[in-house]
Structures are given as C-alpha cells and as structure tokens.
C-alpha cells in the first residue's frame, strides 16, 4: 500500500508547483492546503479499502495536469524556435517515454505476476533480475518523475531557461537524443 501512496507523494508536490506558478503566497498556501486535505482523505480511504480504481484515476489525472501545465510553461517561458525550447521538449519527450515504459512494465507485471515469479525461480540469478518487472517499474517511473521535476524546476525557478543545465539523464536526452540539437547532429556526422 505504501508503494501505491508513494506515487501520489511524488506527483502532488509537482502538481502544486505547476498550479501555483506566478500565484500569490496566499493562493499558493490555499492550493497546498487543498491538495494536502485531498491527499489525506484519499490516503485514509485507500488504507481502509485498498482499492485501485480511484488510486489509478487520481494518479493519471495528476500526471495529465502536470504534463499539460509543463507544455504551457515551456511555450510561455522559452523563445519559439530557440535551442533551449528544443532541448527542453527533448527532455520532456524522454521523461514521458521512460515514464510510460515504466507504467506499461507495471501493468505487464500485474497481469503476469505468477508466470514471472515461476520463471524467475526456474532460471535463477543473475537472469531472474531482468524479469523482476516491479523493480524495473520503479526505476523507469522514478527517472521519468525526476525529469519532469527537473524541467518544472528549471522553468519556474530559473531566470534564464536558455542557460539552464540539467543532470544526467536529462542532459543526455536533451543534448544528444530527443531534441535534435546541433550537438546531436554533429555527433551523427562524425
């Protein structure tokens, strides 16, 4: 159950951040209070019932709002056709892709848990490690969540998103793989 709640403990602060951009301190506090009360009510309900439909729906809605607001922030806080905008969109595409891979791995793990467990026992270590999809789901979604936290932080906190630097793997995704930057094009030609 704590596994389920950690998903919301990750998304709610980011949701607060994207919902309160340029808001007054009072509005930010009211939004934080509303999100905290809503999350607390949900946590009590979830602990008592252990149901997954509302949990999953709340999570998907939170992630969708974060994605929608992030797209708005990118378009408002970066110049059109700038390298920074291409780079940040590249990082966002990477984060969304790796996050979705994690989500699908989680679904597959849920659907095939018994089969995977039996197969892991049959093949043993070290290969069983690759079939531990629940662990992979945590790794992939954590990377995706980190990327969105980093991008949102850059867009909200930075005076100059054009000069912002990102830590790995966001820097790699933005510079070399997803953004189509000049650096990436130069490396392809070498």
Tokens of 159: 């005076």
174-185 burial: b if 16+ Cβ within 10 Å, else e: bbeebbebeebe
Helix axes 133-157, 2-19, angle to 10 degrees: 20
Half-sphere exposure of 37 (CA within 13 A, CB side): 6
Is residue 134 marked as binding?
yes
Is residue 55 marked as binding?
no
- State the binding site for Zn(2+): 134, 138
Annotated binding site: 134, 138
């Amino acid at each position: 159950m704590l596994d389920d709640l950690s998903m919301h403990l990750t998304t709610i602060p980011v949701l607060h951040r994207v919902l309160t951009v340029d808001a007054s301190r009072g509005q930010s506090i009211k939004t934080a209070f509303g999100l905290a009360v809503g999350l607390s009510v949900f946590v009590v309900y979830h602990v008592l019932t252990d149901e997954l439909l509302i949990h999953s729906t709340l999570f998907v809605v939170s992630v969708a709002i974060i994605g929608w607001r992030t797209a708005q922030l990118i378009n408002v806080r970066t110049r059109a056709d700038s390298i920074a905008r291409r780079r940040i969109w590249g990082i966002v595409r990477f984060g969304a892709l790796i996050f979705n891979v994690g989500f699908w791995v989680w679904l597959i793990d849920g659907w095939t848990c018994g089969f995977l467990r039996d197969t892991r026992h049959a093949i043993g270590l070290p290969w069983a490690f690759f079939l531990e999809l629940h662990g992979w789901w945590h790794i992939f979604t954590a990377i995706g969540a980190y990327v969105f936290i980093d991008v949102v932080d850059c867009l909200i906190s930075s005076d100059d998103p054009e000069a912002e630097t990102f830590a790995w793997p966001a820097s790699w995704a933005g510079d070399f793989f997803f953004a189509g930057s000049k650096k990436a094009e130069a490396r392809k030609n070498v």
